[in-house]
Amino acid sequence: MNYQKELTFAIEAVRKAGKLCREVQHKLVSADSMEKKDRSPVTIADLGSQAIVTLSLQRDFPGEMLVGEEDSTPLRENAELKERVHLLLAQFIDPINDATLYEAIDFGNQDPNGTARFWTLDPIDGTKGFLRGEQYAVALALIEQGQVVLGVLGCPNLPLSYQHLEKGEGCLLYAVRGEGCWMEPLDGGERIPVKVDGFTNPAEARFCESIEKEHASHEVHEQISRVMGIHRPPFRIDSQCKYAAVARGDASIYFRLPRSSSYREKIWDHAAGVVVLEEAGGKVTDFRGFPLDFSCGKKLENNIGLVATNGALHDLTLKAISEVVHLT
């Protein structure tokens, strides 16, 4: 298998980070914290997750670049928060000092070179889902010369099967370019191949979108689905778990049109999900049908909107979009 060492590192790092995040969500997120709009639990989990992945990367692939979302400022400014992160990390790794913690988190503050090899991480994708006690993901991907070649999605709350909830929740989906997509329990266990559904008739399909209306235009999504003849209600779910949902057939289509025409997506919000879905047999483009371009830095500067499908419905989805959305 290509990238075997890289995949082994990425699976274990995301597994450990996912367990850390699950620990925080179960113990620190409560009705009281949500009522007070206390974001400290997600800050603790975010920074702890990024520290774990970074330290693992520096051990297994010293000298390689990581482009992450977080920095250590909240810990440098809040001693109590810093100590809580230390206590949390001590459950998963050997103790580290403050300087090592800061350096590990800040290591992700690098600007990628589009022609180079680098990793990109979202330590918690779907912070509002995390705070609601719902869906979120730890997303790690490897990019080479602007192409995503490997991705791992850790989804601590995602059921292993919506048809068989008794199987439990918490899963890892991962893929290497050209070698298919696989899923296994977050806590370890048998891996199974993952494939998109085979729907070719939009009337049988279900589309996926963000829960939060401010993240994407639900109204435009609804217009697109009407044009396509989709009758089933949308599957609303946070984070890159939407890619996982389409990859394994929980939904057939995921589209996302930001409310601002000037907005450009961050690479860490999509890289892992893209390769997971494509290796499951799906297709991902922007609203104009262009492939996502990961060679432009931290943002998808050359892309507008996002369409991810089971492949069979992709052209029909793009046609419907062109009838509803007028892109400049």
**Which helix (DSSP H) or strand (DSSP E) does residue 318 occupy?**
helix 314-324
Distance CA 323, CA 319 (A): 7
73 is catalytic: no
Closest by alpha carbon to 294, among 317, 272, 261? 272
Closest by alpha carbon to 178, among 2, 309, 310? 2
The answer to whether residues 252 and 197 touch, using CB atoms and an 8 Å cutoff, is: yes
Distance CA 312, CA 283 (A): 9
CA distance to 77, 107, 275, 279, per residue, from 183 (Å) = 39, 29, 13, 12
Distance CA 295, CA 82 (A): 34
Catalytic-role residue among 46, 197, 269, 286: 46
**Which helix (DSSP H) or strand (DSSP E) does residue 241 occupy?**
helix 241-247
286 is catalytic: no
**Which helix (DSSP H) or strand (DSSP E) does residue 158 occupy?**
strand 147-159
Catalytic-role residue among 127, 285, 309, 317: 127
Cite the active site residues. Answer: 46, 127
